[in-house]
A and B are shown apart, each in its own frame.
Chain A
Amino acid sequence: MAQLQLANLRKSFGQVQVIKGLDLAISDGEFVVFVGPSGCGKSTTLRMIAGLEDATSGTILLDGGDLTRARPADRSIAMVFQSYALFPHMTVADNIGFGLQLKGTDRATITARVAEVAGTLHLAPLLARYPRELSGGQRQRVAIGRAIIRNPKVFLFDEPLSNLDAALRVQMRLEIARLHQRLRATMVYVTHDQVEAMTLANRIVVFNDGRIEQVGTPMDLYERPANRFVAGFIGAPSMNFLPVRTNGSLIDWPGIAPLALPAGKAQVVELGIRPEHLVAVEEADADIAGDIEIIERLGAETYAYVRVAGQPADLTLRLPGETGHRPGSRIGLKLDWSRAHWFDADGRVL
């Protein structure tokens, strides 16, 4: 059992409050991913859970027990750092067995446990090496090995894969997913990578400026963002935002014929639509039309950036990999109105 609960957690550095009251319940075996812009307090929150940073106020509960003031070592929590934080003067085996050695576990037991952990992480042939003789991915596996050997209740990961190249990142992402399936442990994972967040998370927590904007499953956040911030943050390429003016019961929108306003959306000032919910059509059938500025081909799909008169920003549009559209050509766009997001002046979804 490892149920983690944060209640009204706050943290100030000097006069500056960086964590402004967090409430979050993480259930046993859950994989929770923290995302948010740089400096929003993800690492600080993680470090408070680990006990590396003292909470200014609020509580951290693990299975009901208060560990807000507990020493890091007494929390049954393991942390994997972005920098791997391996001891350069110890072999892989000693790095993994470090915690057991400190406790004075007997040599035979340590050797056996290290071998077991190394086996599951494909590190067995590397046990005698020093960290600087390993690749980035191997180093990160050693760091994970050091974490799992202690059977902690909660795993904390702070951007563990961001120092790896793209291919290795995909591979390690799968390994972490496998690890979670196998251990069924509670994991809290910080990342900047949308794909990591979407694929690994049971639930994603979106941070902004020391507060939680929204918590939900990946598809929840993707399909039903609570506000403009989450809508813009989740999804790559990000959602298109189109300012609108309402004219009584009609949307008054430069470039297109006035539209009837759906019920309950009277306060709308901005419309959000994801790139895949814009459909390329003949200009005659289009809601809006514009000129293609740039085409980005990714192979399986293509992104088109479309300049529309009266819109402050280009609209992004997702097209199939093989597309006849060319930069400079005219394109008509139809909105999938059922997938549109309506925001009021405060950025809240209507």
Chain B
Amino acid sequence: MEQHNRFWRIALLGLPLGLFGLFVVWPLFSSFYYSFTDWNGFDTNYSFVGFDNFAKIATDRLFLQAAINTTIWMAAAIILPTTLGLMLALLLDSRVAGARVFKSIFYLPICLSAVIVGQIWTWIYQPDWGLLNTIISQITGEKFKYAWLAKPDTALWSVIVAWSWQQTGLAMVIYLAGLTAIPGDLLEVCEIEGASPWQRFRRVVLPLLAPSTVVVVALSVINSLKGFDILYIMTGGGPFNSSDTLAMHMYNESFKKYLMGYGSAISVVLFLIALAIIGLYFRQLRKVDRIYG
């Protein structure tokens, strides 16, 4: 019996651990390994170059651009859907007419894959017949033509809007659940003590939503770090690398310029950044834990 149990325990744990090792741990370590080489991705001949790749990162103007874009991208991809989702949740929670319909509508985009969302918004931004320019033309009364995704000034932000459109529904649903979990008598205490709507939100509702915020932000961070596909579909990092992120830069260096060694070095840096963010996040989590258990 004991033997039997052990077999199953090992077998059932072994499969997922094996897959995890194969698809996560092994590539991770091979990235570390290749980051010290000049491998081009297919040649069997390559040599060790020490920290050359990392030194190159320090002087790579495109890396700096991508790092700045990534910061903007992540900040926006966390802040926008989170605040918009929270606002929608507060609005729909206060029993406006048709709240259920709106909830479904706002949630719908999250069911689409990033590729489809990217395609939809590419159409919306299309310069000649896209929805956005058509509407602007209608309002102003004169033909408006602007290539949102092809101009360095607007490319990144246009993608951020598309991304937020998709992610807001998720934040909204999580916040709606969080709002229903707030005990009604706490809000009644606010009424009796004479809290203004803003005071109630700032001092009671928002802090009590902290567990939801933890989840929303965690998902936003994870999703935005993974947010490669929508950029790839909509701009491919262009124009002139104006919407390049680190993930996109890494992809371009590795698979377009065949600098697998250098690409690996970028991925190592990306990994360390992610690690730092997660570390900060867990520290925050412990604080929330002390209060909410």
Which A residues form the contact surface with B (CB < 8 A)?
50-52, 71-74, 77-79, 81, 83, 85, 87-89, 98-99, 101-103, 130, 132, 146, 150
Judging by beta carbons under 8 Å apart, are B193 and A98 in contact? yes
Stretch at the interface among B67-75, B183-191, B217-225, B253-261: B183-191
- Asked, given contacts A73-B191, A102-B193, whether A130 binds B185 with beta carbons under 8 Å apart, the answer is no
Judging by beta carbons under 8 Å apart, are A52 and B188 in contact? yes
A113 to chain B, nearest CB (A): 14
Within 8 Å by CB of A89, from B195, B199, B210, lies: B210
- Asked, given contacts A85-B186, A102-B199, whether A130 binds B290 with beta carbons under 8 Å apart, the answer is yes
Within 8 Å by CB of A88, from B188, B193, B195, B291, lies: B291
> 7 closest A-B pairs (Cβ-Cβ)?
A73-B194, A85-B185, A99-B193, A89-B207, A72-B191, A72-B192, A81-B185
The A-contacting residues of B in range 256-279, CB under 8 angstroms, are none
A68 to chain B, nearest CB (A): 16
Q: How far is the CA of A103 from the CA of B189 in the complex (A)?
A: 14
Judging by beta carbons under 8 Å apart, are A89 and B192 in contact? no
Within 8 Å by CB of A52, from B192, B196, B203, B292, lies: B192
Q: Which residues of A contact B292 (CB under 8 A)?
A: 88-89, 132
Judging by beta carbons under 8 Å apart, are B192 and A50 in contact? yes
B208 contacts partner chain A, Cβ-Cβ < 8 Å: yes
Chain B minimum-CB-distance residue to A130: B291
B207 to chain A, nearest CB (A): 4
Max chain A Cβ within 10 angstroms of own Cβ: one of B191, B193, B195: B193
Q: How far is the CA of A52 from the CA of B293 in the complex (A)?
A: 30
Which of the four size classes fits the interface of chain B? Answer: 20 to 34
B204 contacts partner chain A, Cβ-Cβ < 8 Å: yes
Judging by beta carbons under 8 Å apart, are A132 and B291 in contact? yes
Q: Which residues of A contact B195 (CB under 8 A)?
A: 73, 102
Q: Could you list 5 A-B pairs, sorted by A, with CB under 8 Å?
A: A52-B192, A73-B193, A89-B210, A98-B203, A103-B194
Q: Which residues of B contact A72 (CB under 8 A)?
A: 188, 191-192, 194
Max chain A Cβ within 10 angstroms of own Cβ: one of B188, B199, B204, B207: B188
Judging by beta carbons under 8 Å apart, are A132 and B293 in contact? yes
Q: Which residues of B contact A52 (CB under 8 A)?
A: 188, 191-192
Q: Which residues of A contact B210 (CB under 8 A)?
A: 89
Judging by beta carbons under 8 Å apart, are B183 and A85 in contact? yes
With A79-B188, A81-B185, A88-B291 given, name 7 new contacts (CB 8 A): A51-B191, A52-B192, A71-B191, A73-B194, A79-B192, A85-B185, A85-B189
Judging by beta carbons under 8 Å apart, are A99 and B194 in contact? yes
Q: How far is the CA of A79 from the CA of B292 in the complex (A)?
A: 24
B208 to chain A, nearest CB (A): 6
Q: How far is the CA of A74 from the CA of B192 in the complex (A)?
A: 8
Chain A minimum-CB-distance residue to B292: A88
Chain B minimum-CB-distance residue to A133: B290
Judging by beta carbons under 8 Å apart, are B208 and A73 in contact? no
Chain A minimum-CB-distance residue to B196: A102
The A-contacting residues of B in range 210-248, CB under 8 angstroms, are 210
Q: How far is the CA of A79 from the CA of B189 in the complex (A)?
A: 8
Q: Which residues of A contact B188 (CB under 8 A)?
A: 52, 72, 79, 81, 85
Chain A minimum-CB-distance residue to B193: A99
Q: Which residues of A contact B191 (CB under 8 A)?
A: 51-52, 71-73
Q: How far is the CA of A258 from the CA of B233 in the complex (A)?
A: 101
Q: How far is the CA of A102 from the CA of B185 in the complex (A)?
A: 18
Q: How far is the CA of A73 from the CA of B185 in the complex (A)?
A: 15
B213 to chain A, nearest CB (A): 12
Chain B minimum-CB-distance residue to A150: B193
Q: How far is the CA of A87 from the CA of B202 in the complex (A)?
A: 13
Chain B minimum-CB-distance residue to A158: B185
A91 to chain B, nearest CB (A): 10
Q: Which residues of B contact A132 (CB under 8 A)?
A: 291-293
Judging by beta carbons under 8 Å apart, are A102 and B192 in contact? no
Chain A minimum-CB-distance residue to B192: A72
Q: How far is the CA of A78 from the CA of B207 in the complex (A)?
A: 24
Q: How far is the CA of A73 from the CA of B204 in the complex (A)?
A: 17
Chain B minimum-CB-distance residue to A85: B185
Q: How far is the CA of A74 from the CA of B207 in the complex (A)?
A: 26
Contact indicator per residue, chain B 168-195, by CB within 8 Å of chain A (1) or not (0): 0000000000000001011011011111
Chain A minimum-CB-distance residue to B185: A85
A46 to chain B, nearest CB (A): 12
Q: Which residues of B contact A81 (CB under 8 A)?
A: 185, 188-189
Q: Which residues of B contact A51 (CB under 8 A)?
A: 191-192
Q: Which residues of A contact B192 (CB under 8 A)?
A: 50-52, 72-73, 77-79
Within 8 Å by CB of B208, from A71, A79, A88, A98, lies: A88
Within 8 Å by CB of B186, from A50, A78, A79, A87, lies: A87
Q: Which residues of A contact B186 (CB under 8 A)?
A: 85, 87
Q: Which residues of B contact A88 (CB under 8 A)?
A: 208, 291-292
Q: How far is the CA of A146 from the CA of B292 in the complex (A)?
A: 21
A146 to chain B, nearest CB (A): 8
Q: How far is the CA of A72 from the CA of B291 in the complex (A)?
A: 29
Q: Which residues of A contact B207 (CB under 8 A)?
A: 87, 89
B195 to chain A, nearest CB (A): 5
The A-contacting residues of B in range 104-150, CB under 8 angstroms, are none
Q: How far is the CA of A72 from the CA of B199 in the complex (A)?
A: 16
Q: How far is the CA of A88 from the CA of B186 in the complex (A)?
A: 10
Q: How far is the CA of A346 from the CA of B183 in the complex (A)?
A: 43
